[in-house]
Amino acid sequence: MAKKEQSFEASMDRLQEIVSLLEENDIPLDEAINLFEEGLKLVKECDTKLKGFESKIEEIKQKSEEDDD
């Protein structure tokens, strides 16, 4: 079964939670590594989503400029 994609905001919330857990320095190393790996995946997903949002905004701006002509 495919994993349902989280919203950008949910991904950022989880990433902040991971950062907080890692900053506490009181979790076992294995868990810290797993959290770090999850965090890297979330960063990549968020980056991809942001690039998609930027592309969409550019499309909207270009369409708006074409409509104004």
Which mean pLDDT values do the consecutive 10-residue runs of the chain (69 residues) have? 76 96 94 97 96 94 84
pTM: 0.79
pLDDT at 1: 46
Q: What is the residue range of 20's domain?
A: 10-68
Kindly state whether residue 47 falls inside one of the protein's structural domains.
yes
Kindly state whether residue 5 falls inside one of the protein's structural domains.
no
Kindly state whether residue 19 falls inside one of the protein's structural domains.
yes
Q: What is the tally of structural domains in the chain?
A: 1
Kindly state whether residue 4 falls inside one of the protein's structural domains.
no
Kindly state whether residue 63 falls inside one of the protein's structural domains.
yes
**39-45 long-range contacts, CB within 8 A, separation 24+:** 39/15, 42/11, 42/12, 42/14, 42/15, 42/18, 43/15, 45/5, 45/6, 45/11
For the chain, percent of residues with pLDDT exceeding 70: 93
pLDDT at 65: 86
Kindly state whether residue 37 falls inside one of the protein's structural domains.
yes
Kindly state whether residue 1 falls inside one of the protein's structural domains.
no
Kindly state whether residue 60 falls inside one of the protein's structural domains.
yes
